[in-house]
């Protein structure tokens, strides 16, 4: 069930009305309703995988209870390893079995011992990379005594499967989301309106920006040899906005939807394309995943402490694992390694924390220095996106070769040039809104707050009309495949 589908447009109001008008006086009933709704939402994709998320939830629920009943280090460690083994075992089997099988076969073939790789016809369960990390972090936090385990099965299972963020995040922490299932939730008009506003902005990002960019991106990356260097450059830039609009748009819809039910999810994007270096970019891009790897992988490895060699090792591990999390392809591993190379000079020179505050905090425009820093960071990020988008490393290098072997000043040769120009103007307008609202939770959170109500609704209506006129048929979100 896609957020941008008719199915969801029917599903959401039904759940909303039942939640606030049928179950509003009973917290347990509200949680049970959310659990049932979440399972219906997930089963809509493929009911066969519903048992997988239920089993994964049950394992971590029981691990949490087990951890509360023992103080013995060996038993506690065994319980934690059980959670990690089950969760990563499922993830590894469904997502990475064929990759490792084919990679081993290719390696042995290169060594002169060819054999046929065993390939299974496996369907990747939607959202598995997200909910396994979410439920596993609960067991880790209980093991570390950062939180008390819960015995409320309905609340815990609802936390794991909460439908707004189930299939593509944000990857929530139990310390933030789980306690919200135990607090009485009353309907707040202002909170609901804020949620609807963020949903509207998320739909604009997805359907107007991302989906329209995708048309040109698919052409450029499918047959790069047919296009001029300028077209290929536009393809890369449009992909940068496609993936940002697609993924941050999903996060906006998820956060806004959760707010309709009285929940606050963590911020997942913070205007990453206004970053002044790659370290700042990674503090602003997919925040829930970046902080997950920081807290559960990077810091336990030693973080930025120790010798330069350990710092280099830890950075490469964290970025390569992050790349591999995105997909079972060498392109994602290369993308992660490339970002590690971008990041290392900043870390070794101790300049990775120099841009903490929002850019141009007290002025309308950035300084000349900040502008060129932003431009440089965006450029190297776009270069890395080539590997993320390409189907193989050879395709990525072919794309780069064609991009730099022709004149960049040739006229783009896309057939729909007029549409490309209109889309470019829409992106410029989108960036202007993002820049104006760069210190808010989402771009239009505070936009027009002092306006009269009729003028506000004209603005929202205009956004809705842009979605209606420029949004094509429903398209899946990119991160569903991860």
Neighbour count for residue 401 (Cβ, 10 Å): 11
Q: Catalytic site residue 286?
A: no
Say how far apart CA 132 and CA 380 lie, in whole Å. Answer: 31
Tell me the domain boundaries of the chain.
6-187, 191-276+355-481
Residue 427: the pLDDT is: 97
Residue 180: the pLDDT is: 97
Say how far apart CA 281 and CA 247 lie, in whole Å. Answer: 15
Residue 158's alpha-carbon distances to 28, 164, 165, 226, 250, in angstroms, are 11, 11, 11, 50, 20
Residue 90's alpha-carbon distances to 60, 95, 122, 474, in angstroms, are 14, 8, 12, 30
Residue 480: the pLDDT is: 64
Residue 473 tokens, joined: 């048929």
Indicate the angle between helix axes 368-389 and 229-260, nearest 10 degrees. Answer: 90
Q: Is the peptide bond before 421 cis (omega within 30 degrees of 0)?
A: no
Residue 220: the pLDDT is: 97
Contact indicator for 446, 437 with CB cutoff of 8 Å = yes
Determine which one of 73, 113, 286, 326 is catalytic: 326
Neighbour count for residue 3 (Cβ, 10 Å): 25
Q: Which residues of the chain have a pLDDT value below 50?
A: none
Predicted TM-score (pTM) of this structure: 0.94
Say how far apart CA 162 and CA 181 lie, in whole Å. Answer: 10
Residue 473: the pLDDT is: 67
Say how far apart CA 280 and CA 352 lie, in whole Å. Answer: 8
Residue 106: the pLDDT is: 78
């Amino acid at each position: 069930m896609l957020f941008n589908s008719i199915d969801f447009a029917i599903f959401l109001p039904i759940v909303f009305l039942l939640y606030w008008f049928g179950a509003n006086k009973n917290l347990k009933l509200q949680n049970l309703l959310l659990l049932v709704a979440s399972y219906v939402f997930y089963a809509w994709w493929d009911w066969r995988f519903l048992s997988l998320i239920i089993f994964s939830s049950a394992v971590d629920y029981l691990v949490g209870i087990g951890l509360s009943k023992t103080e013995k280090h060996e038993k506690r460690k065994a319980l934690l390893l059980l959670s990690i083994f089950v969760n990563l075992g499922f993830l590894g089997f469904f997502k990475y079995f064929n990759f490792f099988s084919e990679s081993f076969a290719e390696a042995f073939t290169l060594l002169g011992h060819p054999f046929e790789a065993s390939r299974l016809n496996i369907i990747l369960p939607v959202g598995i990379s997200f909910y396994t990390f979410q439920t596993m972090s609960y067991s880790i936090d209980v093991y570390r005594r950062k939180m008390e385990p819960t015995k409320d099965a309905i609340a815990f299972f609802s936390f794991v499967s909460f439908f707004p963020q189930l299939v593509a995040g944000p990857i929530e922490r139990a310390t933030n989301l789980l306690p919200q299932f135990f607090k009485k939730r009353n309907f707040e008009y202002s909170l609901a309106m804020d949620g609807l506003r963020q949903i509207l902005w998320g739909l604009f990002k997805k359907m107007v920006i991302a989906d329209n960019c995708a048309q040109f991106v698919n052409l450029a990356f499918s047959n790069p040899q047919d296009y001029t260097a300028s077209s290929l450059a536009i393809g890369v830039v449009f992909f940068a906005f496609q993936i940002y609009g697609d993924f941050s748009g999903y996060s906006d819809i998820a956060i806004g939807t959760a707010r309709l039910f009285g929940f606050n999810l963590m911020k997942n994007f913070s205007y990453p394309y206004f970053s002044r270096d790659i370290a700042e970019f990674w503090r602003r891009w997919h925040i829930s995943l970046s902080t997950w790897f920081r807290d559960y992988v990077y810091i336990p490895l030693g973080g930025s402490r120790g010798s330069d060699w350990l710092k280099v090792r830890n950075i490469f591990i964290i970025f390569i694992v992050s790349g591999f999390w995105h997909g079972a392809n060498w392109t994602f591993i290369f993308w992660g390694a490339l970002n590690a190379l971008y990041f290392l000079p900043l870390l070794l020179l101790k300049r990775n924390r120099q841009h903490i505050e929002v850019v141009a905090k007290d002025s309308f425009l950035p300084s000349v220095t900040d502008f060129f820093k932003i431009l440089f960071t965006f450029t190297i990020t776009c270069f890395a996106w080539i590997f993320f988008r390409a189907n193989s490393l050879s395709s990525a290098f072919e794309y780069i070769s064609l991009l730099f072997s022709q004149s960049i000043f040739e006229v783009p040769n896309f057939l729909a040039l007029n549409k490309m120009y209109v889309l470019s103007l829409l992106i410029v307008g989108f960036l202007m809104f993002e820049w104006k609202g760069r210190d808010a939770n989402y771009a239009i959170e505070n936009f027009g707050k002092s306006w009269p109500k009729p003028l506000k609704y004209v603005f929202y209506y205009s956004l809705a009309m842009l979605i209606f006129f420029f949004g094509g048929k429903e398209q899946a979100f990119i991160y569903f495949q991860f």
